[in-house]
Chains A and B, each alone.
Chain A
Amino acid sequence: MKKLINIKTFSLAFLLVGLCFTACEDFLKEDPQDRVAQDRYYQTEEDAVAAVNSIYANLGSTSSGPEGVYHSTTWIAAGLASDNLKNMQQGALANDQLGTFSWNAENSSILTIWRIHYKTINLANIAIERIPAIEMDETMKNRLVNEAKFLRGLMYFNLVRMYGKIPLLTSEASALNPEVSEITAVYAQIISDLQSAEALPLDGDIQEGRATSGAAKSLLAKVYLTTGDYENASATALEVIQSGKYELWENFSEVFKHTSRNGKEAIFSVGFGDGGGAISFWEFGQFNVRLLPPELTQARDIVTNTHGWQVATPELYNAFSSDDARKEVTFMTELLDDEGNVVTLSEFYIQKYWDEEAEPNAGDSQQDFPVIRYSDVLLTYAEAQAELGNFAEANTYLNMVKTRANLPAVSINNAEDFEAEVLLERKKEFVAEGHRFFDLVRTGTLEEKVMEAKDIQVNPIYYLFPIPQRERDVNTNLPQNPGY
């Protein structure tokens, strides 16, 4: 009898232990009901859409981190670190350094750019990994994943051109302290992502503002051009041209009208503004805040919040012939005050983003940021064709952009001259659109052009940004770029 009790008790104890090993897993699982944990999310089509939307949200402005990718820092850096823009913003050391080619690894803009790009990449990784597991409409599922891939490709394309060897993270379960990948590996991933994204719907078959097949192909063409793969650059750009979805506006002045937002020339743009109050945080586009002269705010009652923090170099202004239709659209050298008096400005301010009729107050801009315009595709195609020796085709497409700007057509038949002409055309076509640093780096003309515009001897280390010091402090696996 006694023994029986023993055995019973022991078995009871062991039963309890055994029970726990199976039941404890549930007992120790955290499942909060008052907040949404990741395990309870990414389960419906709605969740999938919201996950992809959050990637787009980090392109514009965000309420949770640094400003979005195309909010200001990135495109301003690409303008300052070139012959395009100079910094007038008081106390903005980071911008002073960028404008004068004296930056270092402590530069806060270089850190901000790094940070927001990776934030966006992480969101894309989550979407790409989690959405395929959701039970939902297959077409929609593929579309959303491909949108995420387009955005991831876009982010890595920016990063690899700025920082060189970088951590290539393609999974949300990536290492806390990742190592860097070779540049070729990063490009391979970008190309693979963009090739997937080519399956996206055509422009017009998807909500305006989202990534399209045309956007993927256009970006892919630029990637090929950057890597020197002119065959593919040319072929891919031609696909965009032949899609029949895009055209240049007849007049350059129409490009930045509000009515043209996501119109026929816009291939991929990022929207700004509060959506008529639908968005709760403060961000408007930063174009006018940063580029329009402070005198405008003083001269006109209705205008607010224009600071003129970044202005064109005189060399940039002077590069436009007086016939160039873009000159007047792009620059402001004087303005009329409320009394009708002319106020002459001491700098060459950039006014092209300001649709005065739509936004008389200027500061609260609801303009789109043009990530890729059709003229970029035309010039990409022209440049690739010239590199392949097809000057006739190259001149045709270069002249489409020139003609629209009211400039005479050219016919250039040697590679070197053509390259220079395209570079000059891009300079004038894309003022303050965030391309110039990349164009000068791609063509190896950074030292020469900056010397011409700013009389600064550029150290070749500045062909790459440094890996931000803060990041290297925390992640000791990251090597620094040469020279920093």
Chain B
Amino acid sequence: MKKILLIGVLITWILPQAMAQQQVAGKVTDASSGESLPGVNVLVKNSSAGTVTDVNGSYSISVPNEDDILVFSSIGYISQEVEVNGRTTINLALEEDVQSLEEVVVVGYGTVKKSDLTGSVASVSSEEIKSVPVTTFDQALQGRAAGVKVVQTSGVPGGETNIRIRGTSSVNASSEPLYVIDGMLINSNGGEMSIGGRGPRIGALSTINPNDIESIEVLKDASATAIYGSRGANGVILITTKRGKAGKGSVSFESYYGMQQVSKKLDLLNATQYAELVNEASINAGVEPVYANPQSLGEGTDWQEELFRQAPMANYQLSLAGGNEKTRYAVSGGYFTQDGIVIGSDFNRYSFRVNLDTDVNEKLTVGTNMSYNRISSNGVLTGPGAVVQGVVTNALQFNPILPVYDASVPGGYTFEHDRKPAVANPIAEAKEYISITGTSRILGNFFAQYEILDGLAFKSSFGIDGLTTKSNAFGPNFLKRTENSLGEASISTLEALTWLNTNTLTYDKDIDPNNTINAMVGFEMQKFRNESLNAYAFGFPDSRTGWHNIGAAENPQSPSNGELEWSMASFFGRVNYSLMDKYLFTLTGRVDGASKFSEGRKYGFFPSAAFAWRVSDEEFMSNVAFISDLKFRASYGQTGNQSIPAYQSLALIGPIGQGVFSNGSGYEAFRGREPVSYPNRDLKWETTEQLNFGIDMSVLEGRFGLTAELYHKNTIDLLLNTPIPFTTGFENTLLNIGNVQNRGVDLALNSVNIDGVLSWNSSVNVSFNRNKITDLARDEDINLGVGGNILREGEPIGTFFGYVFDGIYQSDDEANQSPMIAGQTPSAGDRKYKDISGPDGTPDGIINDFDRTLIGSAQPNFTWGFDNKISYKSLSLSFFFQGSQGNDMVNLNLSDLANLNGQQNVLSEVALNRWTPENPSNRYSRALTTANDNVFSSRFVEDASYLRLKNVTVSYNLPASLLERIGLSNLRIYASGTNLWTLTDYSGYDPEGNAYGQTTNIVGVDFGSYPQAKTYTIGLNLGF
């Protein structure tokens, strides 16, 4: 066999050389543009002889026989066969293959022509992703797709976002979507992919370079997501990175430089005003004023000014892409650097990527995607904090009379707020508490695709996602935070590895012009494992070695380590059937097996079915000229959610239970071991049933396009931490109980407003979602204990519960005669609350638990995005608005910043308009050092609707004539501004965000979050 093969090769190689040959040359051009076509394959039919056209589209080939046939082929063009007939010159124009150029959309485990789509898929292009300078790509999705709500939880460089596709469908499990990058199912679970250590947490997605992304598809309905089965219920975000194309190679260099500043500062009291407030609060409480001469104190320290800074950011990216008919490549390297607007914080990322495809022969294609990203970041503690509050909270509360520095104490910083010692010096904490996180991530996969038969292909891929992260932290002994530990250091590491093997068999067949079938079956296995190690120590009399020598500590703490493993095995399949190109059917199903669930409950089946009708292709529509495209879609299916921690279904044994057996002379201790949790033998997925109706319409030859969708999602078997009978020996466990409903409408509209030399394109998307807990399996609320958030049957997730603030008592008489909070005796100038109910269901004259009620919701009526691009010749202007309407935010900062007890600094608005007999405010209370009314009430709940000019970009493309002269193919310079302007009634830093961003069910709470930045950038893109 081998011999024959060898001889065959020799014959085909030697024989043509030996025989009389004819030389044929010519040029290949594009039939429509007339431009020369490089990279066209020219083959002698039924032989192995062949060549490729050069940069000018020219070729030359030896033809053995005069009557041979030449085959010209190139991707994107219709192949042509030409008989030589003794000619020596053959010029040819290739027609574009319109069919293949039609827009293709990436879906799970494949692609589909956009016109054939039956499910709900929203696409976001690389241009849209790049238009806003972001640290992580998930931030760039904000306002870009209908049905996708993106909340940047804080302004921390590289921080996490909350993404909700068509609402929150879970209460205890995660509601974040599944991310799939080039077929790799990515673990974005911050709990499993980052260190639960002492530094601020960086999002798992920040290790991915936004500049490498070609397109993002958001899968929303069950037809699109059921192929991801038990991980599809929260929607799926498919990311496709850039790949090379055959043809002339391209080199591009992209760079921008920007300057960030805090988008808003809060107006607080200066030193004089603060002293006056303290004095009045003291006098009102019947004690001596504190400050003898407030005027002499002047302005004092502006702690916000000290904490925030102008911070630069920059991005550099070099990309090469190209290839020939056999091999395509895309290679890139990037560097992104960002200083945070809070001193002491920054973020740096180095990224490298190689995407390679090669056709080994006509049937076999192999390829690889490899990326390596390295992040290093300095963090500062913001948000609620644990040992001490975050630096933002501290800066807002710190005494403006005190200076930042105090040379007389160790460390040289003013140690703490003298009137409220819990408040640490934010500048010292930000600058001196070191927290460095370094993360490396390799994301790589290798695939091979073999065409078994015409239309039947087998593809297998194997990929790994390896992440290593290490966090070093050190707090010297002079900080407030280390007051008890006397200096602390910690080193934490986490290694995480996912491997994934996917095998699919795809069958693509046009049975006849009226019947097209595309079928796919697949099998997939995935395993995740992480290991973490955390060492920490207290007591560092000498700070010089810091975390570098943790052994120098006087008080080492026990090290801790942990590990976690889960695995999944899945079978899936999909059939697309198209009847006469008008009636489109899709059936999808996935069987998922997951380790996290109980024995016997590990497998779940997730089916979906969809139908689409291309009305515009019907005969009767041929007269309706203005409608160029009209399609109705309907789908129904079930998907699952399995994002709970591993090992929940196991009964773990703990070394608890000890006691003594005694006798006359003494006692003997004994020890026992017992289960520490209830083993739920029935633990399984959450299941989401979703019904979707959609319409896609395009009129006036595509000038206006509309996609409107109506959906209804019902999540049942909610994974809910639930009280169970004590007869089990336990109090509560995770059960599949309870339902959540999300209903809504997604609207997306594209319009070409003006076409011509001057062009103006707009796109609008609006998302309406109504969330409701339909079954909580109990009568009482679940109080989440933070920011008034409760879970109540019949209400949405993110419902606020508290007292109703009812103004200020204007006289002592009024205060005495009104219902009061048990144990309090208010006077004129104190807050009053509504007496709503009592034990008998009627107002009872006492303000107590019965008077708490629903006082707001974090769920918006709708969220939206509005993008515009105006071009005139080489100039273009784009502006992008984005916003949210009708949602409330709990401004927990007011608990201190509107508390006039003279301990912390407060908002000027509150303090300067405070109630005094001369200024009978009905909104702000009087100053009083002994004020103890700080109950959670409607005064903390603010309307957080906003409209934001997210981005404006002006850019200039150098004209082609100039480009040629300097040897470039493309040059673009631009200037842009981000978060330039926000219209909102919200009084805090930002109407967006959530201090408890890592939880699913606590939403809409602002507490000392890292504020978002306003950014100005200038950029340059070069193409060679």
Besides A27-B595, A208-B661, A474-B725, 5 more A-B contacts (Cβ < 8 Å) are: A50-B672, A51-B674, A53-B659, A281-B658, A366-B667
By a CB distance below 8 angstroms, the chain A residues around B663 are 208-209, 261-263
By a CB distance below 8 angstroms, the chain B residues around A47 are 673
CB of A60 closer than 8 Å to a CB of B = yes
Known: A207-B661, A273-B662. A64 touches B669 (CB 8 A): no
By a CB distance below 8 angstroms, the chain B residues around A63 are 656-658
Assess whether A258 is in contact with B596, with CB atoms less than 8 Å apart: no
By a CB distance below 8 angstroms, the chain B residues around A41 are 653, 673
Task: Identify which of B664, B667, B676, B723 contacts A271 (C-beta below 8 A).
Answer: B667
Q: In whole Å, how far is A381's beta carbon from the nearest beta carbon of chain B?
A: 26
CB of A244 closer than 8 Å to a CB of B = no
Assess whether B662 is in contact with A54, with CB atoms less than 8 Å apart: no
Q: Mark B512-523, 1 if CB is under 8 A from A, else 0.
A: 000000000101
CB of B668 closer than 8 Å to a CB of A = yes
Q: Mark A13-33, 1 if CB is under 8 A from B, else 0.
A: 100110010001001111011
By a CB distance below 8 angstroms, the chain A residues around B525 are 20, 27
Assess whether A37 is in contact with B724, with CB atoms less than 8 Å apart: no
Q: In whole Å, how far is A21's beta carbon from the nearest beta carbon of chain B?
A: 9
Assess whether B595 is in contact with A28, with CB atoms less than 8 Å apart: yes
CB of B649 closer than 8 Å to a CB of A = yes
Inter-chain CB contacts under 8 Å: number:
224
Write the chain B residue with the least CB distance to A280: B658
Question: Shortest 9 CB-CB distances between A and B: which pairs?
Answer: A209-B661, A54-B672, A57-B657, A122-B729, A53-B672, A278-B669, A275-B669, A54-B657, A38-B651
Q: Mark B645-657, 1 if CB is under 8 A from A, else 0.
A: 0110111111011
Q: In whole Å, how far is A477's beta carbon from the nearest beta carbon of chain B?
A: 9
Q: Mark A173-187, 1 if CB is under 8 A from B, else 0.
A: 110111000000000
A368 vs B664: C-alpha distance when bound (angstroms)? 11
Assess whether A17 is in contact with B729, with CB atoms less than 8 Å apart: no
Known: A38-B650, A51-B672, A475-B727. A6 touches B452 (CB 8 A): yes
Assess whether A32 is in contact with B563, with CB atoms less than 8 Å apart: yes
By a CB distance below 8 angstroms, the chain B residues around A34 are 561-563
A59 vs B658: C-alpha distance when bound (angstroms)? 10
Task: Identify which of B602, B657, B727 contacts A58 (C-beta below 8 A).
Answer: B657
Which stretch of B57-65, B312-320, B378-386, B564-572 is in the interface? B564-572
Assess whether B523 is in contact with A16, with CB atoms less than 8 Å apart: yes
Assess whether A366 is in contact with B672, with CB atoms less than 8 Å apart: no
**5 residue pairs A–B, Cβ–Cβ below 8 Å:** A35-B652, A57-B657, A167-B727, A271-B667, A473-B723
CB of B728 closer than 8 Å to a CB of A = yes
Q: In whole Å, how far is B284's beta carbon from the nearest beta carbon of chain A?
A: 33
A71 vs B761: C-alpha distance when bound (angstroms)? 77
By a CB distance below 8 angstroms, the chain B residues around A122 are 728-729
Write the chain B residue with the least CB distance to A111: B726
Which stretch of A112-120, A335-343, A345-353 is in the interface? A112-120
Assess whether A32 is in contact with B647, with CB atoms less than 8 Å apart: yes
Q: In whole Å, how far is B644's beta carbon from the nearest beta carbon of chain A?
A: 12
Assess whether B667 is in contact with A30, with CB atoms less than 8 Å apart: no
Assess whether A177 is in contact with B729, with CB atoms less than 8 Å apart: no
CB of A126 closer than 8 Å to a CB of B = yes
Interface residues on A, range: 35 or more
Q: In whole Å, how far is B649's beta carbon from the nearest beta carbon of chain A?
A: 7
Assess whether B669 is in contact with A32, with CB atoms less than 8 Å apart: no
Assess whether A272 is in contact with B660, with CB atoms less than 8 Å apart: yes
Assess whether A471 is in contact with B725, with CB atoms less than 8 Å apart: yes
Taking CB atoms and an 8 Å cut-off, the chain A residues in 243-294 that contact chain B are 258-263, 269-276, 278-281
Assess whether A118 is in contact with B675, with CB atoms less than 8 Å apart: no
Interface residues on B, range: 35 or more
CB of A311 closer than 8 Å to a CB of B = no
Known: A13-B523, A50-B671, A208-B663. A62 touches B727 (CB 8 A): no
Q: Which of B654, B670, B681 has the most CB of A within 10 A?
A: B670
A38 vs B505: C-alpha distance when bound (angstroms)? 41
Q: In whole Å, how far is B725's beta carbon from the nearest beta carbon of chain A?
A: 4
CB of B593 closer than 8 Å to a CB of A = yes
Q: Mark B707-748, 1 if CB is under 8 A from A, else 0.
A: 000000000000000011111111100000000000000000
Taking CB atoms and an 8 Å cut-off, the chain A residues in 455-476 that contact chain B are 468, 470-471, 473-475
CB of B503 closer than 8 Å to a CB of A = yes
Write the chain A residue with the least CB distance to B732: A474
Assess whether B660 is in contact with A37, with CB atoms less than 8 Å apart: no
CB of B407 closer than 8 Å to a CB of A = no
By a CB distance below 8 angstroms, the chain B residues around A272 are 660
By a CB distance below 8 angstroms, the chain B residues around A50 are 671-673
By a CB distance below 8 angstroms, the chain B residues around A269 are 662
CB of B594 closer than 8 Å to a CB of A = yes
By a CB distance below 8 angstroms, the chain B residues around A114 are 726
Q: Mark A54-80, 1 if CB is under 8 A from B, else 0.
A: 111111111111000000000000000
A257 vs B666: C-alpha distance when bound (angstroms)? 12
A35 vs B438: C-alpha distance when bound (angstroms)? 28
CB of B778 closer than 8 Å to a CB of A = yes
Assess whether A279 is in contact with B562, with CB atoms less than 8 Å apart: no
CB of A427 closer than 8 Å to a CB of B = no
A222 vs B726: C-alpha distance when bound (angstroms)? 27
CB of B679 closer than 8 Å to a CB of A = yes
Taking CB atoms and an 8 Å cut-off, the chain B residues in 517-545 that contact chain A are 521, 523, 525, 527
Write the chain A residue with the least CB distance to B674: A54
By a CB distance below 8 angstroms, the chain A residues around B565 are 30, 32
Write the chain A residue with the least CB distance to B596: A30
Assess whether B652 is in contact with A262, with CB atoms less than 8 Å apart: no
A252 vs B523: C-alpha distance when bound (angstroms)? 78
Assess whether A259 is in contact with B725, with CB atoms less than 8 Å apart: no
Assess whether A275 is in contact with B674, with CB atoms less than 8 Å apart: no
Assess whether B458 is in contact with A9, with CB atoms less than 8 Å apart: yes
Q: In whole Å, how far is B767's beta carbon from the nearest beta carbon of chain A?
A: 37
Known: A13-B503, A28-B602, A30-B647. A53 touches B671 (CB 8 A): yes
CB of B453 closer than 8 Å to a CB of A = yes
Task: Identify which of B563, B569, B653 contacts A33 (C-beta below 8 A).
Answer: B563
A351 vs B538: C-alpha distance when bound (angstroms)? 47
Q: In whole Å, how far is A71's beta carbon from the nearest beta carbon of chain B?
A: 11
Assess whether A36 is in contact with B726, with CB atoms less than 8 Å apart: no
Assess whether A279 is in contact with B659, with CB atoms less than 8 Å apart: yes
Assess whether A475 is in contact with B675, with CB atoms less than 8 Å apart: no
By a CB distance below 8 angstroms, the chain A residues around B661 are 56, 207-210, 262, 271
Write the chain B residue with the least CB distance to A272: B660
A262 vs B458: C-alpha distance when bound (angstroms)? 77
By a CB distance below 8 angstroms, the chain B residues around A209 are 660-663, 668
A262 vs B681: C-alpha distance when bound (angstroms)? 42
CB of B779 closer than 8 Å to a CB of A = yes
A115 vs B729: C-alpha distance when bound (angstroms)? 7
Task: Identify which of A52, A62, A176 contacts B728 (C-beta below 8 A).
Answer: A176
A214 vs B569: C-alpha distance when bound (angstroms)? 57
By a CB distance below 8 angstroms, the chain A residues around B675 are 38, 126
A35 vs B565: C-alpha distance when bound (angstroms)? 12
Q: Which of B527, B565, B567, B669 has the most CB of A within 10 A?
A: B669
Assess whether A273 is in contact with B729, with CB atoms less than 8 Å apart: no
CB of A216 closer than 8 Å to a CB of B = no
Taking CB atoms and an 8 Å cut-off, the chain B residues in 416-472 that contact chain A are 450, 452-453, 456, 458
Task: Identify which of B567, B662, B679 contacts A28 (C-beta below 8 A).
Answer: B567
Q: In whole Å, how far is B568's beta carbon from the nearest beta carbon of chain A?
A: 8
Assess whether A62 is in contact with B646, with CB atoms less than 8 Å apart: no
Assess whether B664 is in contact with A32, with CB atoms less than 8 Å apart: no
Q: In whole Å, how far is B596's beta carbon from the nearest beta carbon of chain A?
A: 7
Assess whether A471 is in contact with B596, with CB atoms less than 8 Å apart: no
Assess whether B669 is in contact with A53, with CB atoms less than 8 Å apart: no
Q: In whole Å, how far is B562's beta carbon from the nearest beta carbon of chain A?
A: 6
Assess whether B453 is in contact with A2, with CB atoms less than 8 Å apart: yes
Assess whether B452 is in contact with A5, with CB atoms less than 8 Å apart: yes
By a CB distance below 8 angstroms, the chain A residues around B650 are 30, 32, 37-39
By a CB distance below 8 angstroms, the chain A residues around B728 are 118, 122, 174, 176
By a CB distance below 8 angstroms, the chain A residues around B653 are 36-38, 41
By a CB distance below 8 angstroms, the chain A residues around B656 are 54, 57, 62-64
